[in-house]
Structure 1
Amino acid sequence: MQVAQGSSAAPSTGLTSAAAAAMRTPAQDGHVFSFVLVKLASRCNIACTYCYWFRDADVYKKPAVLTDEVEDAFCQRLEEHITQHGLTSFMLVFHGGEPLLFPKRRFVALQEKLNKIEERTGCLIERGVCTNAILIDKEWAEIFVEYEIGISVSVDGPPDIHDANRIDFKGKGTHAETIRGIEFLREAGIEPGLISVCNPATDPERIISYVVDELGITQFDILPPDATHLDNPPEIGTYFTKLFDVWFDRYAERGVRIGTLDAMIQGLVGQAAVSETIGLGPTEVVTLMTDGSLEPLDVLRIVGDGSTRTDSSVLTNALQAVQQDPRWRAAYDSSTQLADVCKACEFMDACGGGHLAQRWSTERGFDNPSVYCGSWKHIFTHIWDRIAPTLVMSLQEAEKAKAGAAA
């Protein structure tokens, strides 16, 4: 399993396409969820300039790592949830902050508890870790192999681009340490997923060339920085249209896949766009905090203090009960109720209003198009203009083949 899209303290949760599908599955009231984002740590070992996590001061009120009491309660609630609803698969993504601040011995003990739940219930519990990779050593890599845990790592590009924003608390770049962590993974036979956060002022060709030609990774994602309407971020249209052109003209035929581009193409041709960044569908993430709180999508912390705070906890509530919590419900409902301008847009099905967090404004809450709306329209139009002739040619060739077979 590869856990692509995001890492600890990066702009997104770090989901595989399967996890993204689990959180964006069309649902009704009472839909049984099968994915939890587990915050093993509420602190981080670096200080990325674009991090959403610490924009909510509530983070500092949480225990630094998942407490023993919460760990036991969560495992009990998870087993009850699986048994009650007859689930045959479940997905956990371990996240932070930086999840590897969680002690190794406790991480191993947690995996053993999860294995026993699998044995008792017959439910496959898939697991992933989203990390900046700085703390990965030989022992961590061996643990990941033993428990079949997928890994996602954040690398924003070559050293100069990566080190501009992914810095430590002394302001120094972290690229070399991240690459060292990836090397430990590869020595253990693990090929990690990878996420890059774009800097719109840089050249996307440098990112894709570095990731594919130097790191040798062919499936990854490139995302815009998280931002709300309070942030006035730079436009991303120029960056992503060039990214698409470079990929389409030079890298697609080599089997290179970029998650956000895949999702946009899928949406444009009428397929479900499986991505947490773009595409129509509800957001159903359940986030377990280190104090046992059950919250909605963690990226919503970008809104500010207390923005994801709920009254639900594994210490007092069943997992499924979070769906009735007003704050979790409000996030879910906002993800399914698009602004009027989005409903009238020709790209509504493909875009889905953009990422929920990027719709926020003080005046209207989430009842807005994405702060990147203008850019997304430009990007969708550009991609459609590039792929439409290819689609027409494919249809014509199919019709000729059909006619030839009939003759």
Structure 2
Amino acid sequence: MIDHRHGRDRTDWTPTPFRQFIVKVHSRCNLACGYCYVYTMADKRWRRRPPAMAGHIAEATAHRIAEHVATHDLAEVSVILHGGEPLLAGPDRLRHLVSAVRAAVGERATVHFSLQTNGTLLDRSFLELFSELGVRIGISVDGTEAAHDRARPGSYARVAQALAELGRPGFRGLFAGLLCVVDLDADPIDTYESLLRHAPPAIDLLLPHASWSRRPAGPPGAYADWLIPIFDRWFGAPVRETGVRLFEEIINVLLGGGSAVEGVGTSPAAMIVVETDGRIEQSDILASTYEGAADLGLDVVRDDFEAALHHPATVVRQLGTAGVPADCAPCLWAGTCGGGLYAHRYRAGSGFDHRSVYCTDLDHLFGHVRASLERGLAPLR
């Protein structure tokens, strides 16, 4: 059994039920992105998983979600259809899963569905299906055409076409936003402006997944240097151009609120993954660290989500400030940064009780955002 504990007292833990369920409807992909944490890093278990989620696994997943909703009297939850590339599952499997979850949960809670796709297979028939089912769509785009095709060879034209279709009046309400991985070889403002051309309601800017055992490209601080010009452009714009979740969540925690994204703040982790074979696992981002890092030894046919909630690997990620790595305790940002993304803390042989491998970048970025907030709020004092 995987043990993610830091070895500190856990008696102050209060369970936070799962409110986000990432369902891997397909475990393969039709692209070969060089930075992909699922297929190119430490965990190769995807090779042994069925490509598509079987119907009985989808139904078991739906039952377990409904069970968790009822157990914790949840008013709403989100289900994210994921992969691999989830559109490879095909319309029938996607419809079956969404319908099964809605039927199982019934009137007990509102279920928000979304799907994260590389966009290459997204066409009008899928858009009509998602419009019918009420599924919002996030698309991965790595900035300019040149940068995108460097990371995701030859796919930009198809993605741009899908985004144009998604932007039409009949489908615009389905658009959840864009996901973009930071590329130090691309100009940050060119990247941001290329993303804005698609008129996204929100943008996720993600650091490439790395750890102390697999260092990121570029020197410490290079990613902050890349992100800060975008922050200044976004924060200083006379009108709101889009949401940028990383910046919004940093602002939230600096102003005393919680965070809704992994890697910012100390809000308890409330997300769980179901793989195509029914395995209940932690965030698949842990695939970037070592083989089986996300494995909880559970599956939806045999186990409920309560077993996952009370697993030590979940507990350690729900401890708030008590779960901040020991390295981070003296830091100014300990309660707001929270030590960074959990996977980015990993070091082979000693686990996850370390500051993020992006610590220097987070320090510079948090400091810059706080200074910008102080300047912006000064006239109100």
Q: 1:43 aligns with which of 6, 28, 42?
A: 28
What does residue 189 of structure 1 align with? 171
Q: Give the Cα separation in 1 of the matches to 2:104 and 2:330.
A: 47
Q: Give the Cα separation in 2 of the matches to 1:32 and 1:277.
A: 19
CA contact (8 A) 2:324 2:334 kept: no
CA contact (8 A) 1:33 1:320 kept: no
Query: Is residue 2:77 matched to residue 1:90?
Result: yes
Query: Is residue 2:202 matched to residue 1:226?
Result: no
CA contact (8 A) 1:111 1:147 kept: yes
Change (3 A) 1:33 1:273: closer
Q: Which residue identity does 1:193 align to in structure 2?
A: G
Query: Is residue 2:223 matched to residue 1:239?
Result: no
Change (3 A) 1:107 1:40: same
Q: How many angstroms does 1:242 deviate by?
A: 1.7
Q: Give the Cα separation in 2 of the matches to 1:218 and 1:147.
A: 20
Q: Which residue identity does 1:226 align to in structure 2?
A: H
What does residue 392 of structure 1 align with? 378
What does residue 383 of structure 1 align with? 369
Give the helix-richer structure, 1 or 2.
Answer: 1
Q: Which residue identity does 1:220 align to in structure 2?
A: I
What do the CA deviations read for 1:252-271 (whole angstroms, capped 9, x no partner)?
Answer: 63343211111222222333
What do the CA deviations read for 1:120-168 (whole angstroms, capped 9, x no partner)?
Answer: x43211111011111111110001101111111011111001111123x
What's the TM-score, normalizing by structure 1? 0.83
Q: Give the Cα separation in 2 of the matches to 1:343 and 1:239.
A: 27
SS in 1 for 2:58: helix
SS in 2 for 1:307: coil
Where do 1:4-403 residues align within 5 Å?
28-54=13-39, 55=41, 56-119=43-106, 121-167=107-153, 173-187=154-168, 188-190=170-172, 191-212=175-196, 214-233=197-216, 234=218, 235-249=222-236, 251=237, 253-329=239-315, 337-395=323-381
Q: Give the Cα separation in 2 of the matches to 1:86 and 1:268.
A: 31
Q: How many angstroms does 1:328 deviate by?
A: 4.2
SS in 2 for 1:210: helix
What RMSD over aligned residues (CA atoms) do the two structures have, in Å? 2.1
Q: Give the Cα separation in 2 of the matches to 1:388 and 1:381.
A: 11
Change (3 A) 1:192 1:79: closer
Q: How many angstroms does 1:364 deviate by?
A: 2.3
Q: How many angstroms does 1:184 deviate by?
A: 2.7
Change (3 A) 1:246 1:32: closer
Q: How many angstroms does 1:239 deviate by?
A: 0.5
Q: Give the Cα separation in 2 of the matches to 1:351 and 1:72.
A: 38
What do the CA deviations read for 1:352-394 (whole angstroms, capped 9, x no partner)?
Answer: 1111111111132111111110111112222223331221211
Q: Give the Cα separation in 2 of the matches to 1:334 and 1:166.
A: 36
Which one is further off, 93-102 or 217-226? 217-226
SS in 2 for 1:221: strand
Which one is further off, 360-369 or 72-81? 72-81
SS in 1 for 2:60: helix
Unaligned runs of 5+ in 1: 1-26, 168-172, 396-407
What do the CA deviations read for 1:225-267 (whole angstroms, capped 9, x no partner)?
Answer: 1111122212312101222222233x36334321111122222
Change (3 A) 1:307 1:48: same
What does residue 4 of structure 1 align with? none
Change (3 A) 1:237 1:179: same
What's the TM-score, normalizing by structure 2? 0.88
Task: Provide the identity percentage.
Answer: 27
CA contact (8 A) 2:18 2:309 kept: no
Q: Which residue identity does 1:40 align to in structure 2?
A: V
CA contact (8 A) 1:227 1:358 kept: yes
What do the CA deviations read for 1:87-130 (whole angstroms, capped 9, x no partner)?
Answer: 332211111111111121121122222332343x4321111101
